[in-house]
Amino acid sequence: MRVLIVEDEKKLANALVQILAADSMTADAVYTGTEGLDNALTGIYDVIVLDIMLPGMDGISVLKGIRKEGITTPVLMFTAKDDLSDKVTGLDSGADDYLTKPFAAEELKARIRALGRRSTSGILSGSTLSHGDLTLDLKACCLCCGNNRVKLALKELSVMELLMKNSDAAVSKDMLITRIWGYDSEAEDNNVEVYISFLRKKLSFLKSKVIIRTMRGIGYMLTEEV
Ligand code: CA
């Protein structure tokens, strides 16, 4: 599970990253509303933890921005005090849950897990995508072509999903890295190349007419062999 933490108290934000990591959740922390919105819009997160009181763009504005773009990732909001109006505004703006500071780490983890279970957005959203003779089953992590079927690793699935969702345009390596490995990752171009080559092998195993074309200096694009 991948969690985005938007919290301007850096010490708290970084402590939360550690706490969640100990529970095998991957968390990215950002400290401003603007960064929070940018990261949230990638759609790679299963749960977003959002502080209401942020300098500049506040949590409610971030939340409204996220929902306006159609991102349905569950959002847990932090309210600084037990302020009913904050909670009402938060829930009205599309928050799924809230937690009043200070809180116990165990309670936060339990709430995040509960939200993660009902997460419908992010990488494992929806059910299937199609392109040409291919069907990608996002829930079963399978790529199918006719009666042939192959299981994909999670990152292969994410790469294929992005290529299929952007099948009218080339997808750059930078975009793949940001969307799949995250902003702060140390993933490099050759990580992407490795997954593209795995996927090409699987496409050929499936005997699909769809190929992943390399557009030099631009990125990758799905095309059909004629
Ligand atoms: Ca704050």
Q: What is the CATH number of the domain that holds 200?
A: 1.10.10.10
Residue pointed to by tokens 């345009």 = 169
Using a pLDDT cut of 70, give the percent of the chain over it.
91
Gap from CA of 13 to ligand 1 centroid (Å): 10
Run of H or E residues at 134: strand 134-137
- Co-location of 99 and 39 in the same domain: yes
Question: Which of 74, 91, 119 delimits the end of a domain?
Answer: 119
Under the banding of pLDDT at 50, 70 and 90, the label for residue 166 is: confident
- Co-location of 103 and 12 in the same domain: yes
Gap from CA of 9 to ligand 1 centroid (Å): 6
Gap from CA of 78 to ligand 1 centroid (Å): 8
Q: At what angle do helices 33-40 and 59-68 cross, to 10 degrees?
A: 20
Gap from CA of 155 to ligand 1 centroid (Å): 33
Q: Taking residues 13-38, report their average pLDDT.
A: 93
Q: Would you state the structure tokens that stand for residue 56, as one six-digit string?
A: 């500049």
State which residues form the domain around 80.
Answer: 2-119
- Co-location of 172 and 79 in the same domain: no
Q: Would you state the structure tokens that stand for residue 13, as one six-digit string?
A: 């934000």
Residues 147-159 have pLDDT tens digits of 999 998 878 888 9
Gap from CA of 114 to ligand 1 centroid (Å): 23
Gap from CA of 12 to ligand 1 centroid (Å): 10
Question: Which of 92, 119, 146 delimits the end of a domain?
Answer: 119
- Co-location of 160 and 109 in the same domain: no
The domain tally of the chain equals 2
Q: At what angle do helices 105-117 and 10-21 cross, to 10 degrees?
A: 60
Question: Which of 69, 90, 119 delimits the end of a domain?
Answer: 119
pTM over 0.75: no
- Co-location of 82 and 162 in the same domain: no
- Co-location of 7 and 103 in the same domain: yes
